[in-house]
Amino acid sequence: MNTRHAVVWLDHNEAHIFHLTPESYAGEVIKSPHAHTKLHRKAGPTASSGHAGEDQHYYHDVAEHLAGTEEILVVGPANAKIEFVRHLENHHHDLKSRVVAVETLDHPTDKEIAAHARTFFKREGTL
């Protein structure tokens, strides 16, 4: 979808994407095909976040839904938002350059996510 502003709230189970205008927003939810799949933590130097490597496919799907967006705000409760931005860095350079901020936001409602993003973009003077 081609829009100027978008916010994506994500964790390892799902992503909520909202394309914003000053008056409204359109949202969609992308479920990770591997939601709730978790590996047991390993100790030692090879320890990982415990999430299956298939998250990369999920992040790619989220990135495709953001194609054409000029400014992207990435929010979420934990590591998934950072892993998603790292995925953009490695696989979607054009989108990575459009990420304007990464913020921690626990588990808000869809309406709260859109309101947070609208406030953010207005404060930045771009909405």
> Residue-wise pLDDT tens for the chain (127 aa)?
558 999 999 999 999 999 999 889 999 999 998 765 554 444 444 444 445 456 889 999 999 999 999 999 999 998 999 999 999 999 999 999 999 999 999 999 999 999 999 999 999 988 8
Q: Give residue limits of the domains in the chain.
A: 5-34+52-124
Q: Note the CATH number of domain 5-34+52-124.
A: 3.30.420.60
How far is it, in rounded angstroms, from Cα 122 to Cα 35? 34
Which is nearest to 10 in space by CA: 98, 105, 115?
A: 105
Provide the whole-model pTM: 0.84
